[in-house]
Amino acid sequence: MHVVATAGHVDHGKSTLVRALTGMEPDRYEEERRRGLTLDLGFAWTTLDVPGPGGPAPAEVAIVDVPGHERFVATMLAGVGPVPAVLFVVAADSGWMPQSSEHLDALTALGVRHGLLVVTRSDLGDADLAVEEARDRLAGTPLAGMEAVAVSAPTGAGMDDLRAALGRLLAALPAPDVAAPVRLWVDRAFTIRGAGTVITGTLPAGSVAVGDELELPGGARPGARVVVRGLHSLGRAVPRATGVARVAVNLRGVDVDAVGRGSALTTPGTTVSTADVDVLLRRGPAASPGRPDEGPPPLPEQLLLHLGSAAVPVHVRPLDAPGGVLARLHLSGALPLRIGDVGLLRDPGAHRVVAGVTVLDPAPPPLRRRGAARARAQALADLDGTPDAAGELARRGVARRADLVAMGVPPADVDAVAAAPGVLGDGEWLVDAAAAAPLRHRLAAEVAAAARDRPLEPGLPVEAARRRLGLPSTGLVTALLGTGEAAALELAEGRLRERGAGASGPALPAPVQAAVDAVLADLADAPYAAPEAHRLRELGLGSRELAAAVRAGALAKVADGVVLAPAALAGAAGPLAALPQPFTLSEARQAWGTSRRVAVPLLELLDRRGLTRKLPDARRELLR
């Protein structure tokens, strides 16, 4: 299927042309027919012969009929936005008019390159003159070279030529990517009794099938998933529709108020729902893709952004210079966008399309510091809206793989950049190679600072390192290890420390070392008489200090608050060898010259180490 839209000044015969071509009534409302004025989008379709390699073949073409009245330009744009080709209508008897210009400017800004110039009402005026005038106006725009056909609806003159020319136009349209992610801009939403909410739109690429789960970005529940309950195309129920196509989608569990013109249904994870976007502006009389040579006047700050079927008020902030080509748009509501999306900015009061826009970054960084806008302009200077995996990652330093895909970077390109030399990742996130070196430097500095500031701790917890480096995951912190300035760091029990710091034991701070020395002196004559709680307190050895002394190998832990000299613990089985076997707790206590407080956990420790065994009568024997 193909989809084309009409364009042109009010009353120039667009709807009449659609009627003559399809036999269908594009003016759906009684009021439209009564007033002879199109108020809203109309939809009609027909079958015609399209030339192909194997000769002409019948193909279906749907036509989105737009209103020409100056008050309905926003409606016109909602209809044209997702459509790749246009029937540009000019009446022979009145010739080129203001909305001819406004519609042409809009089509130019949207980058529409395929169309037919249809001069209508040829029975009422000089069609050749109208064609000539239109050619003048079209010069320099992407539609300059389109074929021209003159028709008259009442006489039927030119209609066969029109069908033939339309066939040639359709044959020349680029084939859309059937595997592309779906973004279906809604142009109508209504309810059908018994079926619920139905939306219609032009599917430009990709395919939608009954049962598909799609995302409804924006709306009352941003990111909500919806299921395609039913699908119609050109009035028929179909199991699947592939772009380009007109589709009507019956949605399960969606209130009709939650969707409307300007909403979109998308393949989950394939757009960024954003209210801030950096764009390339295409301006001047020919606001066609490509950068203008000279700077036009500054843009108004408040404009309407038209993109897809959406029209959203935006605040425009120039990034490079007033009248420049780069701007940050702040949207009054989020839209689901990708790099390379094309839209336009319009000044509705002035009836003027002021610029075409190409999305360069749908997830731009905030502009906080002075000079941030200018720096941002430099970062964007060479971009043209083609998503580039390496560039996106380099500009961001750290990025989530899924976010790059949502921005429009092909998944295969994201995989390739993830595998590039020097790029780090944890499966979910990526760190650019150039960003890794300064992160390693900061990590080494943080670990050193932590060792200095908190010597009793066995290193900097990875989670603390993550926070200090501002990284999104601890996986990325550990991915930094191994090379560069992080080569000297090691990870043990969730903490980072300088390699080797744990092996010989970290040096204890002087006061702790002095207290430990005092304990060891106490133990010199009675090696198993572990210091009592009051003695430890008096020496300033709390649980943190004791843990550090144990980690440093200066003391050995028997139980909480029970410490011995490491050598005493290692030789604890020795005094038990002189006892009659098996022996009692009391005999062991006396052999060690200590109290039950020490003897009980010490025997349990020896049991666990397999040096002693507890018998059913609670006595123990030494195992050799």
Ligand X SMILES: Nc1nc2c(ncn2[C@@H]2O[C@H](COP(=O)(O)OP(=O)(O)OP(=O)(O)O)[C@@H](O)[C@H]2O)c(=O)[nH]1
- Residues forming the site for ligand X (CB under 6 A): 10-16, 36-38, 67-69, 120-121, 123-124, 152-154
- Pick the piece of the chain touching Mg ion (CB under 5 A) from 35-43, 53-61, 219-227, 491-499: 35-43
Enumerate residues 6+ apart whose C-beta is below 8 A from 486: 440, 443, 444, 480
- Pick the piece of the chain touching Mg ion (CB under 5 A) from 36-44, 109-117, 318-326, 595-603: 36-44
Q: Is 149 helix (H, G, I), strand (E, B) or coil?
A: strand
Enumerate residues 6+ apart whose C-beta is below 8 A from 332: 275, 312, 313, 314
b/e per residue, 1-31, with b = 16+ CB within 10 A? bbbbbbbbbbbbbbbbbbbbbbebebbbeee
| Closest to 355 in 3D by CA, of 183, 105, 603 | 105
For 440-492, give the DSSP string. HHHHHHHHHHHHHH-TTSSSEEHHHHHHHHT-S-HHHHHHTTTSGGGTTEEEE
Q: With beta carbons less than 8 A apart as the criterion, state whether 327 and 296 touch.
A: no
Q: How many CB atoms lie within 10 A of CB 139?
A: 11
The listed partner (ligand X, Mg ion, none) that binds 10, CB under 5 to 8 Å by sort, is ligand X
Enumerate residues 6+ apart whose C-beta is below 8 A from 145: none
The listed partner (ligand X, Mg ion, none) that binds 187, CB under 5 to 8 Å by sort, is none
Whichever of 36 and 509 has its CB closer to ligand X, that residue is 36
> What would the two tokens of residue 147 be?
């074929």
**What is the spatial distance between Cα 572 and Cα 599, in angstroms, rounded to a whole number?**
10
For 14-52, give the DSSP string. HHHHHHHHHSS----SHHHHHHT---S-EEEEEEEEE--
**What is the spatial distance between Cα 279 and Cα 299, in angstroms, rounded to a whole number?**
13
Q: How far is the CB of 319 from ligand X (least distance, A)?
A: 38
**What is the spatial distance between Cα 576 and Cα 310, in angstroms, rounded to a whole number?**
87
Q: How far is the CB of 4 from ligand X (least distance, A)?
A: 15
612 contributes a contact to Mg ion by CB under 5 A: no
* Contacting Mg ion within 514-553 (CB under 5 A): none
Whichever of 162 and 414 has its CB closer to ligand X, that residue is 162
| Beta strand spans in 524-618 (E) | 556-559, 562-564, 612-614
Whichever of 13 and 218 has its CB closer to ligand X, that residue is 13
Q: How far is the CB of 117 from Mg ion (least distance, A)?
A: 17
Q: With beta carbons less than 8 A apart as the criterion, state whether 382 and 291 touch.
A: no
Q: How far is the CB of 36 from Mg ion (least distance, A)?
A: 8
| Total residues at interface with Mg ion (CB under 5 A) | 3
Whichever of 41 and 280 has its CB closer to ligand X, that residue is 41
* Contacting Mg ion within 244-263 (CB under 5 A): none
Q: How many CB atoms lie within 10 A of CB 366?
A: 8
The listed partner (ligand X, Mg ion, none) that binds 124, CB under 5 to 8 Å by sort, is ligand X
Q: How far is the CB of 14 from Mg ion (least distance, A)?
A: 5
- Pick the piece of the chain touching Mg ion (CB under 5 A) from 38-46, 363-371, 376-384, 411-419: 38-46
Q: How far is the CB of 63 from ligand X (least distance, A)?
A: 12
Q: How many CB atoms lie within 10 A of CB 427?
A: 10
Q: How far is the CB of 65 from Mg ion (least distance, A)?
A: 6
Whichever of 38 and 267 has its CB closer to Mg ion, that residue is 38
The listed partner (Mg ion, ligand X, none) that binds 69, CB under 5 to 8 Å by sort, is ligand X
The listed partner (ligand X, Mg ion, none) that binds 243, CB under 5 to 8 Å by sort, is none
Whichever of 155 and 378 has its CB closer to ligand X, that residue is 155
Q: How far is the CB of 334 from Mg ion (least distance, A)?
A: 33
The listed partner (Mg ion, ligand X, none) that binds 123, CB under 5 to 8 Å by sort, is ligand X
Q: With beta carbons less than 8 A apart as the criterion, state whether 245 and 233 touch.
A: yes
Per-residue x/- mask for Mg ion, residues 4 to 33, rule CB under 5 A?
----------xx------------------
Torsion of CA 230, 236, 241, 246, to 10 degrees: -110
Whichever of 29 and 190 has its CB closer to ligand X, that residue is 29
Whichever of 40 and 278 has its CB closer to Mg ion, that residue is 40
Q: How far is the CB of 21 from ligand X (least distance, A)?
A: 12
Whichever of 14 and 183 has its CB closer to ligand X, that residue is 14
Residue nearest to ligand X (CB): 68
**What is the spatial distance between Cα 92 and Cα 100, in angstroms, rounded to a whole number?**
13
Of 22, 38, 100, 141, the one binding Mg ion (CB under 5 A) is 38
Q: How far is the CB of 74 from ligand X (least distance, A)?
A: 14
Q: How far is the CB of 7 from ligand X (least distance, A)?
A: 10
Q: With beta carbons less than 8 A apart as the criterion, state whether 574 and 606 touch.
A: no
Whichever of 38 and 288 has its CB closer to Mg ion, that residue is 38
Q: How far is the CB of 117 from ligand X (least distance, A)?
A: 14
Whichever of 125 and 295 has its CB closer to ligand X, that residue is 125
Whichever of 75 and 200 has its CB closer to ligand X, that residue is 75
**What is the spatial distance between Cα 110 and Cα 108, in angstroms, rounded to a whole number?**
5
Q: Which residues bind Mg ion (CB under 5 A)?
A: 14-15, 38
